[in-house]
Amino acid sequence: MNNAWLTVLTRDLLQAYRRRSDIATTFFFFVIVSSLFPLGVGSDSAILSMIAPGVLWVAALLAGMISLSRLFATDFADGALEQMLLSPQPLALLVSAKILAHWLVCGLPVVLLAPIIGLQYALPNEAISTLVLSLLLGTPALSLIGAIGAALTLGARGSGLLVALLVLPLYIPVLIFGSLAVAASQHGMSPQAHLSLLAAISLLALVLAPLATAAALRISVE
């Protein structure tokens, strides 16, 4: 539909592919954090399946967050970001391509990996499928909201920690509805209400976050 959009997307994906170790870091972070809990809490499967929805969602959320600071930093350093600001294409559109690339690289692997981690936590089958579905609907919102924070903290002192402080409060609704959805299906309730709220958050973020991120980038890069 839009050449510039596709170019940005393929460029970001290619860059991610060339620096595969970066993707692997996010990936292993998720695996390690979610494997730490059974070791710390003990291997009682009743307790594990009880804490699973929250723990897995928090792990997914943190994994998405640690990669945020890279979202614009390299482009900012090598001047590519400035070129995007100057280009005649709407900045929000280009930003949305970058966010999509971030989600494909950092969000999607977590979604795909979740069933295996879910087995570690002795989750029943329906709960695992709800977990995957909730992550699929919710993680785009994480990337979208996170992009605002990443853009705002671009060039600020200690931006890695600052991003956490700005973005985590805004992640809370996603976390609540995501883990409630899994817990609901675990206990024989319909997760449909929570899932549709997650989808709604993602859709709203899809419309508003690229605009806010573009505005934040214009503020940070000037």
Residues that bind another protein (CB under 8 A): 2, 50, 88, 90, 93, 148, 152-153, 155-159, 162, 165-166, 168-170, 172, 176, 180, 183-184, 186-190, 192-194, 196-197, 199-201, 203-204, 206-207, 212, 215-216, 219-220, 222
Of the two residues 40 and 158, which places its CB atom closer to another protein in the complex?
158
For residues 204 and 118, give the distance between their C-alpha atoms in angstroms, rounded to a whole number: 28
The two three-digit tokens of residue 64, written as one number: 């998405």
Say which residues have a Cβ less than 8 Å from residue 195's Cβ, sequence separation at least 6. Answer: 130, 133, 134, 137, 177, 181
CA distances from residue 35 to 31, 52, 107 in whole angstroms, order as listed: 6, 11, 18
CB of 211 to another protein, least distance (A): 9
For residues 11 and 18, give the distance between their C-alpha atoms in angstroms, rounded to a whole number: 10
For residues 174 and 198, give the distance between their C-alpha atoms in angstroms, rounded to a whole number: 6
Of the two residues 92 and 132, which places its CB atom closer to another protein in the complex?
92
CB of 204 to another protein, least distance (A): 5
Of the two residues 31 and 85, which places its CB atom closer to another protein in the complex?
85
Of the two residues 31 and 162, which places its CB atom closer to another protein in the complex?
162
CB of 49 to another protein, least distance (A): 10
Of the two residues 56 and 105, which places its CB atom closer to another protein in the complex?
56
CB of 96 to another protein, least distance (A): 10
For residues 88 and 174, give the distance between their C-alpha atoms in angstroms, rounded to a whole number: 34
